[in-house]
Each structure stands twice: as structure tokens, then as C-alpha cells.
A and B are shown apart, each in its own frame.
Chain A
Amino acid sequence: MKFLVCISNVPDTTTKIAFTPDNKEFNKAGVQFVINPWDEYALTRAIELKEAAGSGTVTVLNVGQADTEPNIRKALAIGADDAIRVDAVPQDAYFVAEQIAAIAKEGAYDVILMGKESIDYNGFQVHGMVGEMLGIPTVAPAMKLDMSGNTATLEREIEGGKEIVSVNTPFVASCQQPMCEPRIPNMRGIMTARTKPLKVVPAVGEPARTTVAEYALPPKKQGVKLIDAENAGELIKLLRNEAKVI
């Protein structure tokens, strides 16, 4: 079984978001980048399934420039076998999906996994685009993934419940908790990751279909109005008469 796990390089979850003075780009100065937390579920689950089967490979794929390599190496340290980096700025979901689809097709991967969405762009689009480009099923978002031969059984979250879906390979799934407990690299993994293959390839396909004109921060809160705990019922009156939300 050949697993392709797509990871994106995103600002750490605790990052205070700021933009360049013209508001056209995210300000990367001093920001720590991590593997997108949703993608960690995809990566760990692929490694677990490979280990359980006793055979197979896990390839990580990232669309990004050279500055994403520390996190690609981290994915290798967690347990992926090899990596591919498409050397390009990930312009939009469509552009990224084109890269993934091309590599998935060329490498004849059986299972293509990624996180539900990235915590920076919050697109939640790439999974379906890749599935459609390849003409294969997509299961998104998946909370559980088990494999038996070429058949996968997944739990797909729907509003208010879940669907149990079964699909044959090849397929795409976008992953979220509680699929697995994401692993962290151990010392041996970090040592071996240095020598695992990381191939860099150029981008393919058509240009992006969307462009960001401007970023903005949400309006600042006016400050908290404190109500005395002894007189907690007063809050309810304020919510009705002042905030008008109940």
C-alpha cells in the first residue's frame, strides 16, 4: 500500500497574526512554522496503517519553498519513508490540488491523506479538488480510518452525526481527530530523517483561480464589562436589554 500524505507549513497555533504594512501578505517575521495540526492526524494514521500491514510506504508531500524543509524533515522523523517538495508558493487551493493530483497520478499512490483544512487559509477544499481531478472518491472530514486489503472503512463527520463509508483504493481522505494520537519524533527518528530521500520537483498545471487582494484583522473588542458574582443575575438583564442576544 502506497500512502501519500500532504502536509502544509503553517504558523504555530499560538501565533499572533500580523500582516505586512500593505496588508497583502502574512508577516512571517519571528513566526515559528509547524506542520499543520490537522495534517498530523493524516501522517500518524498512515504510519500506523503501514506498520499494522507490515509493508507499504509513506511519502510526504509539501507544496512550498525551501523554508518548509525543516517541517518536511520533521515528518520524516515522525516516520514517513521519503518526501517530495513541489518548489512553489502555494498560491491557492486549486493550484495546490493540481500539484498533489499530478504527483499522486505519477506515483500511483493508493491512499492520499491530508488534514481537514490548513489553519492559515482554512480552505477545506483541496481534498475534493484532488479527488475530482483524479476521478476517485473523497471522504471528508474523516474521523476514523481502517484498512482491510484494498478496502477502507471510514467514519465521516456530518453535522449532527457520522456516516460509515467504505471505499476501495485509490481514494482521498481529509483527516481530523479522533483518528489517532499524533506522534512526535523520537531521537532515532530525527537521526534517520537526515538521510531519507527528499525530492524537489517543479510546479505543473494552470495558474491559481483566486488571489488575495488584502488581509484584515477583526475589529478590536471594546473591553470586558465585569459583573459582580454576587449579582450574577444582572448579566442576564444586560444580555437581553443591552446586548439584545437573548
Chain B
Amino acid sequence: MSVLVVVECADGEVKKSSLEVASYGADVAAMLGTTATAIAVGEANEANLAKLGEQGITKVLYDAEPRLKDFVNNAYTKLIATAAEQESAKIIVLANSNIGAAVGSRLSVRLKTSLATNVVELPKISGDQFTVKRGAFSGKAFSDVVLSGDRKIIAVKKNSTEAKHEAGKTAEVASFSAQLGDADFADAPKQVVMQDQAGGILLPEADRVVSGGRGMKGPENWGLIEDLAKALGAATACSKPVSDVDWRPHHEHVGQTGITVSPNLYIACGISGAIQHLAGVNSSKVIVVINKDPEAPFFKAADYGIVGDVFDVLPKLTAAVKALN
């Protein structure tokens, strides 16, 4: 019996959300008196995989099959299922990412497990009862969900748990082969197109986010958002009306039907705070609202607020951040 952690890699680096997942998996293993093994997917680098020891991982399985570099639903599912059988894994932990959801849902049927996605805390284990807390109603509520059966899959929400770092600890990297063949890669992507991310920071994983709404008056003013984001090391985002009129691309749209973010800091500039927008951001730790309308509903959900003109306030904030650094 062990805990199997799915670790997503890109360009040789382990994704931040996967460091959180590794740490979560190691904590669950400790609760159950066992060890946590990781299975790496994507373009991995063995030195970085060994560093997963810092998150409490004992062993990392790595299949060097080159076609696993890009996400292939069938191949990834088979790879992880094979690793789970080899390790007799009772618990599989993965990120609540597009990859994690696509693979986790198939695995739950193939391995006959229960599955909880969007999980925000470590489980409560009491005898046979295994309960996890997960986000529901688009961030407007939580639910405690009891997972049945002796095998379970948990998909952990990004930024909801912190990755621990125990410097100097290393994991053993073991080569592993799931004997994947051409048939497993039948649904391989024809092409992968990566977007230019502002400052290279992925919005769903970002620690800090600066977001703009219709109050920014037009795409030509986004430099003000980008300047503050750059100074803070933040990702940029926008509200739905902004992406609907194509001021900003869809993948920056945060809200109920867009991306859900839960950064440590969310700065909303010229966004009134419709309930659909709040659904995408209300699990952020600290929310700052800048709006010239003191009646904007967003202020009710904010920790800090400035009633003022974004065109006047944003440059001041950027200058203050630069002065601080």
C-alpha cells in the first residue's frame, strides 16, 4: 500500500501546482503510515525529479518515452494506472488541472476508485471514514465529501495548500516503463500552441494576479496593468466583459465561466465585482479593489480598497512597488 502522486513537468521543471500535490501526497502518506511515490508526466529532468525529496517524496517513477512530453489522454492514463498497480497505490493524488481532471476521471473508472476534485485541505481519516473538503458552487461554498471504497483519487486545487521544502532531501529516481505502444498515442495532439504569458507566469498557478475590467476603458490602457504586474511578479487577468469584447484574450478571463484563481494577492482594477466574477476569485487570500465608484459591490469582498481613478492610482502603486524593491 502506498500513495501515488502524479507530478506534471514542463520544460524540465516540475510545475508549482505539482510541488503542492507532492507535498500533499507525502502528508497523506504520513497520516497512513506509508510512503509517497511520484510518477512524472511531461518533459521531465531527472535532477529536478530527485529534488521532489524536499516535498517528502521517497521515489519517483519516470518513463523516458519521448512521446509522453505532450499530454496524451490515453497514454497518460495507462502510464499512471500501470504505476498505481505496480505500487499497490490506495490513494492517487494529482493536481486539479486540465491534465489532472482529464486523467483522474478516466482512472477512477479504470481502477474502480472514488474521486474528489477541487480538494482544498488534507483529508480527515477516522477509522474507515475518509473525508475531504472541496470547493463547490464556484467558490461560493465548500463541501465535506466522504469517499467510499478502498482506493481513492484526490485532485488538489492549485494554491490551496503550501508545498513544504526540506532542503537537502532527495528522492530516488527509478526508470519505469508502462510498455506504451502506438495505439496508446492514437489521440496524441497534432499540434501544441503555447501562448505568450506575461512575464512567463501562468495565470492558474500565479501567486499574485493583477486584473482589469471595463473601467480600464480600452485595451490600449493595459500597459498600466502590465507595469504593476511586472513590478509585482504577477500574472495579468481580466473580467468577462473585457474578454467578450476582445480587449484581452479568453485565457485571461477570470470568473464563474472562466478561470478560477486562488492567488495570495488579487488586485482588481476597474472591475465592479459582479457575483459571477467573484466566483472566480473569492478564494484569493487577499483581495485589493481599485474602483472610482465607492458603491462598487467588489468592495464588500475586498480586504483593501482604494476609491479612485485607476489611471491615477495604478502608476502610483507601480512606483511604490519599485521603490520597495
Contacts and interface: CB of A to CB of B under 8 A. Distances in A.
A118 to B, nearest CB: 9
B122 interface: no
Nearest to B17: A159
A61 to B, nearest CB: 18
Contact of A246 (B144, B256, B265): B265
Interface stretch (B20-28, B83-91, B197-205, B212-220): B197-205
Interface in B95-144: 96-99, 101-106, 108-110, 113-118, 131, 134-144
B256 A162 contact: no
Interface in B297-325: 299-309, 312-313, 316-317, 319-321, 323-324
Interface stretch (B59-67, B172-180, B188-196): B188-196
Contacts of B96: 124
A213 B257 CA distance: 27
Interface stretch (B29-37, B46-54, B280-288): B280-288
A164 B105 contact: no
Nearest to B148: A209
B264 interface: yes
Given A143-B250, A229-B313, A235 B304 contact: yes
Contacts of B256: 13, 37, 119
Interface in B250-300: 250-251, 253, 256-258, 264-265, 275-276, 279, 282-283, 285-289, 299-300
Contacts of A211: 145-146, 148
Given A124-B117, A176-B257, A224-B300, A165 B145 contact: no
9 contacts: A128-B101, A128-B103, A141-B98, A163-B192, A214-B144, A232-B308, A235-B320, A236-B320, A245-B264
A163 B137 contact: no
Interface stretch (A65-73, A74-82, A129-137): A129-137
Contacts of A217: 140-142
Given A212-B145, A239-B265, A163 B191 contact: yes
A156 interface: yes
A218 B300 contact: no
A120 interface: yes
B144 A213 contact: yes
Interface class of chain B by DSSP: mixed
Please indicate which of the listed interface residues A26, A120, A214, A232 has the most CB atoms of chain B within 10 Å of its own CB: A232
A-B interface, 10 closest residue pairs, ranked by CB to CB distance from nearest: A128-B105, A229-B308, A233-B320, A163-B189, A161-B194, A132-B109, A209-B114, A236-B320, A232-B316, A164-B191
B192 A161 contact: yes
A52 interface: no
Interface of B: 10, 15, 70-71, 73-74, 77, 96-99, 101-106, 108-110, 113-118, 131, 134-149, 186-187, 189-195, 197, 202, 204-205, 208, 232, 250-251, 253, 256-258, 264-265, 275-276, 279, 282-283, 285-289, 299-309, 312-313, 316-317, 319-321, 323-324
A214 B73 CA distance: 33
Contacts of B193: 161-164
Contacts of B302: 221, 224
B323 to A, nearest CB: 7
A132 B305 contact: no
B312 to A, nearest CB: 7
Given A119-B138, A129-B106, A217-B141, A138 B73 contact: yes
